[in-house]
Structure 1
Amino acid sequence: MGTYKHGIYISEVPTGLVPMTQTDAALIVAFGTVPVHLATNPVADNTPVLCYTYQEAVQQLGYSDDWEKYSLCEVMFTHFALYNMAPIVLVPCMDTSKHVQHQKNIAVELTDGVGKIKDAVFVDTLALSTQESTEADLVKDTDYTAAYNDDGEVVITAIEGGKMASVATVYAAYKALDTTKVTADDIIGGVSTTTGKNSGLELLSEIFPRFGLVPGIVIAPGWSHNPTVASVMKAKVANINTVFKAICLCDVDDSVTKYSNVSEWKNKNNFVGELQYVVWPRVKNGDKKYHLSSHVASLMNQVDAANKDIPYVSPSNKSLQIDGACTVDGDEIFLGIDSAAYLNGQGIVTALNFIGGWRLYGNRTGAYPSSTDPKDAFINIRRMFNWVGNTLVTTFWSKIDDATNKRLIRSVVNSANIWFNGLTAIGALLGGRVEFRSDENAKTDLLDGIVKFHVYMAPPPPAREIDFIQEYDVDYLSNLFA
């Protein structure tokens, strides 16, 4: 028997409309190498780091201008210093038990009590002796000090009154980082059979569980030109946590120095994915040379930020923070509009200095021209499909295992359609809707708890060609008699 009530009572029911979650379509996840020996607060090996400032990136990963050795330093500088964007996830694919060298009896000449060690020394492993092949007999902070200079070298300085003050040569033993031992296999990574821990690109699956952010752009400057690395990047971005999608930016190999050879290289090495944006050549700013993928990723962040963080605008014909395009040797490359258009027609993106300074040029994914389906061939439409799909997943995940009834169906359809109407109103879509269709929901599926919604949408294609048709109008000759 129910409880006897007398008065006014309040109860609540869930809101029929669900506010859509915000997913960052341009969150960059970058894989590579870092000078971790220079970090003041170093992270563990193969640990993704979410950074909102240049300072915290440097503190946790270190920084060096030697970008050929330390590829993620190029990404840090580009993202924070040149484009002023945040956040970014940096993944050091390093194993400090393997990617090192152990040195002994390294002679260090002293001048006025000061010497330098050029190796990438882990300074806490440094041991100094006054004689070769003997145990360390010099004590840090008693006989000498050791600190890094701006070039990443270890400077040892004799302390007055200490043992090192009276010698001209000391002998060093230490552990040093050796990035020449990092291979493509380390960037690709995998799952350890002993510890079960992920490494390399396998860590992409940890980004959302760790940070609650959906990866949008995956890069690996200095490594993405490798066909094996690129193929794994292409596979990983298509199936993140089994439900999310991203895109990957892949550089053409530095050995390709002529624009006419890029297409052949692209097809030969299978850089033809719809989730792949293929870029060539290198670019420069001052005396620094960059992989174009570093700039494109940050530029996409910038363009999205200017459009309410919605990736419906192509990054093509937007300004790059560069002053030239070049080969790896620094030889400048100047493309005409015809050469750049040829590359674009082969699914390759480049840098063009034509009108308005240096700009990114090209809308096509690697799948073009083999695929002309707009959702796979235009980069902004591809990214919109990724972003919409990722947003639908994060928004309606809370509905999993709810009762399959009309309230559930109405909640999903109405909420999504209101969102699509808003995107259409601001021009991010030409139109979009969600339907629950009887012909797509078989009774056997519904009995098994499978519910399908059909999403229709049309992101605006980029205006890649604008034609003006000129004609001589003879009627204007009458103005001679006016």
Structure 2
Amino acid sequence: MARHGSRVREVPTSLSAPVVATATLPVVFGTAPINLAETLENVNKPVIAYSFPEFAKALGYSDDWKRYTLCEMADLAFRQVGVGPVIFVNVLDPTKHKANKEETVAVTNKKGVIETEGVLLDSLVVSNNETQLKKDQDYIASFDEVGKVVIAVLAEGVTVLKVKYDHLTPDVITNNHIIGGYDISTGKSTGLELLNNVFPKFSMVPGLVLAPKFSKDPTVAAVMKAKASSINTYFKAQSLDDVNTMEANSYTKVNEWKNKNNYTGNNEVVCWPLAGLGDKVYHLSSQIACRIMKTAYDNGDFPHESPSNKPLAMTKLLVETAEGHEEIDLSPDQAEMLNNQGITTAINFIGGWRAWGNYTGAYPAITDVKDIFIPVRVTHNWLGNTIILTTWSKVDGPIGKRLIDTIVDTMNMWLNGLQGEGVLIGARVEFREEDNPLTDLISGKIKFRYFVAEPVPAQDIDNILEFDANYYKSLFAME
């Protein structure tokens, strides 16, 4: 058919906007009081929360952080520091990790309280004088503010109740539950294996990986490092691990414990000891993770600045003991010794309590700048993840000048913008002939080379103070 007239035909824009990876998105593995949540279904599933109410609604909340470890991070991130979102993975399964209990409950002013925490409300059976009572007709059962079941009796003259119920047993959760795995028969993943489910579910790339309490086990820490180094085959994240303060209860023992247990990864931040805030006890990995998030947020969501020498939500340092916890002191020179061993800690020196330490666990055995500084390593991960996200849409496109120029121009413009923001000292991307032999090109392979320089933290400022006697000559100066 012959055409007559003037037309406009649109083609894809040569310069595309980069898809930015989430630099510091934390994924936290542990246990939650799922009986207090709206549903019991959030077991071995990544759950995202932007606020404390969202967390409590999805997973429940308890101040018993030893048994319900995810609540520590929820309190710190949402109530103390004010950062988010956070992705949580609860491994406590109410269909498996439970026990049955039967007891009598005294009724006062038509109310009885079950002191046991973790009660699964749907399992509750209430009787009076061997007669089973009907829910919502003879009694109403609900949780109070601390997670205990309150039974409001509607009938008159009831002084004692007999109750039977199932309750959660978080103490049975072991390191193996956190590590998890993949069940071939069901096709389902559990524990740390679910790190690979985060991006497909939320389209967000994990930036930090935590397991408060459990990461002090070397096996858990090793799996965390391995999983964080290869998420969905392509992405990388930083693992934050805690030293066992029961075994390493003084700063002189930490380095030996670290090396003996192989907490030496370049994608690993090794934290010691515990942090206290009033009666609350936090793992330092949680504190450092929230500090990394807050610092990135304060910088426009760019992760290039170190969390070190930034305020923490704490009032004391603690180590674990058989009786509970013991407060310890740490001077700046002792903290510096830990830093030089690749250990992150906290000090109260100038400006209140602050994170202290820039090195990953790889230091001092490794000296490559991209592997030893925490902000450089986190930024390097973020850059790599963003490059993958942005160039993925070009996969399977026809190799030619247009494809190559689009990638080079798009990424160089993005890198130039980062340089202007101070996120990078300098950066560029090149398509080199020597990197792309004809045999690769005709096989569908193309290679781009990225050159980047992140700013390293100014951790050693040397101010030279000298007495200058020449200033005495001013005494003889003529007016």
TM class by shorter-chain length?
A: over 0.9
Specify the alignment match of 2:41 in structure 1. 43
Please give the root-mean-square deviation of Cα atoms over the aligned residues, in Å.
1.4
The 5 A counterparts of 1:8-157 are 8-103=6-101, 105-119=102-116, 120-130=118-128, 137-157=132-152
SS of the residue 1:31 aligns to:
strand
Structure 1 residue 53: deviation in Å?
Answer: 1.6
1:405 aligns with 2:427: no
Letter in 1 for 2:211: A
Partner Cα separation in structure 2 for residue 110 and residue 473 of structure 1 = 84
1:178 aligns with 2:176: no
1:319 aligns with 2:311: yes
1:282-327 CA distance string (max 9 Å, x none): 1111111111111111111110011111111000000101111112
Specify the alignment match of 2:349 in structure 1. 354
Structure 1 residue 42: deviation in Å?
Answer: 4.0
Match of 2:267 among 260, 267, 275: 275
1:227 aligns with 2:225: no
1:76-112 CA distance string (max 9 Å, x none): 1100001111211111112222111122x32323344
Letter in 2 for 1:218: V
Letter in 1 for 2:266: E
Contact 1:334-1:353 at 8 Å conserved across structures: no
The 5 A counterparts of 1:382-401 are 382-401=377-396
SS of the residue 2:113 aligns to:
strand
1:194 aligns with 2:185: yes
Partner Cα separation in structure 1 for residue 470 and residue 194 of structure 2 = 69
Specify the alignment match of 1:239 in structure 2. 230
Letter in 2 for 1:117: I
Contact 1:43-1:60 at 8 Å conserved across structures: no
Moved more, 388-397 or 469-478: 469-478
Letter in 2 for 1:233: M
Partner Cα separation in structure 2 for residue 200 and residue 276 of structure 1 = 19
1:7 aligns with 2:2: no
TM-score normalized with structure 1 length: 0.95
SS of the residue 2:358 aligns to:
coil
Contact 2:40-2:94 at 8 Å conserved across structures: no
Contact 2:360-2:372 at 8 Å conserved across structures: yes
Structure 1 residue 142: deviation in Å?
Answer: 2.4
Partner Cα separation in structure 1 for residue 109 and residue 467 of structure 2 = 84
Partner Cα separation in structure 1 for residue 249 and residue 219 of structure 2 = 21
SS of the residue 1:29 aligns to:
strand
SS of the residue 2:239 aligns to:
strand
Match of 1:310 among 302, 308, 315: 302
Specify the alignment match of 1:337 in structure 2. 332
Match of 1:472 among 454, 467, 470: 467
SS of the residue 2:376 aligns to:
helix
Structure 1 residue 218: deviation in Å?
Answer: 0.8
Question: Gapped runs of 5+ residues in structure 2?
Answer: none
Specify the alignment match of 1:381 in structure 2. 376
Match of 1:288 among 268, 280, 291: 280
Contact 1:300-1:315 at 8 Å conserved across structures: yes
Partner Cα separation in structure 1 for residue 398 and residue 242 of structure 2 = 48
Specify the alignment match of 2:450 in structure 1. 455
Partner Cα separation in structure 2 for residue 92 and residue 318 of structure 1 = 30
Letter in 1 for 2:90: P
Moved more, 443-452 or 459-468: 443-452
Partner Cα separation in structure 2 for residue 415 and residue 129 of structure 1 = 70
Partner Cα separation in structure 1 for residue 343 and residue 193 of structure 2 = 27
Contact 2:44-2:190 at 8 Å conserved across structures: yes
Contact 1:424-1:430 at 8 Å conserved across structures: yes
SS of the residue 1:257 aligns to:
coil
SS of the residue 1:432 aligns to:
strand
Structure 1 residue 56: deviation in Å?
Answer: 1.2
Structure 1 residue 158: deviation in Å?
Answer: 2.0
Match of 1:254 among 229, 234, 245: 245
Contact 1:146-1:155 at 8 Å conserved across structures: yes
Moved more, 441-450 or 178-187: 441-450
SS of the residue 1:22 aligns to:
coil
Letter in 1 for 2:265: G
Contact 2:34-2:42 at 8 Å conserved across structures: no
Structure 1 residue 171: deviation in Å?
Answer: 2.2
Contact 2:42-2:59 at 8 Å conserved across structures: no
Partner Cα separation in structure 2 for residue 130 and residue 402 of structure 1 = 73
1:370-393 CA distance string (max 9 Å, x none): 101110000011011100000011
Partner Cα separation in structure 1 for residue 152 and residue 7 of structure 2 = 79
Structure 1 residue 147: deviation in Å?
Answer: 1.4
SS of the residue 1:10 aligns to:
coil
Letter in 2 for 1:155: V
SS of the residue 1:170 aligns to:
strand
Contact 1:42-1:59 at 8 Å conserved across structures: no
Letter in 2 for 1:327: V
Specify the alignment match of 2:293 in structure 1. 301
Structure 1 residue 199: deviation in Å?
Answer: 0.7
Specify the alignment match of 2:425 in structure 1. 430
Partner Cα separation in structure 2 for residue 36 and residue 233 of structure 1 = 24
Structure 1 residue 442: deviation in Å?
Answer: 2.3
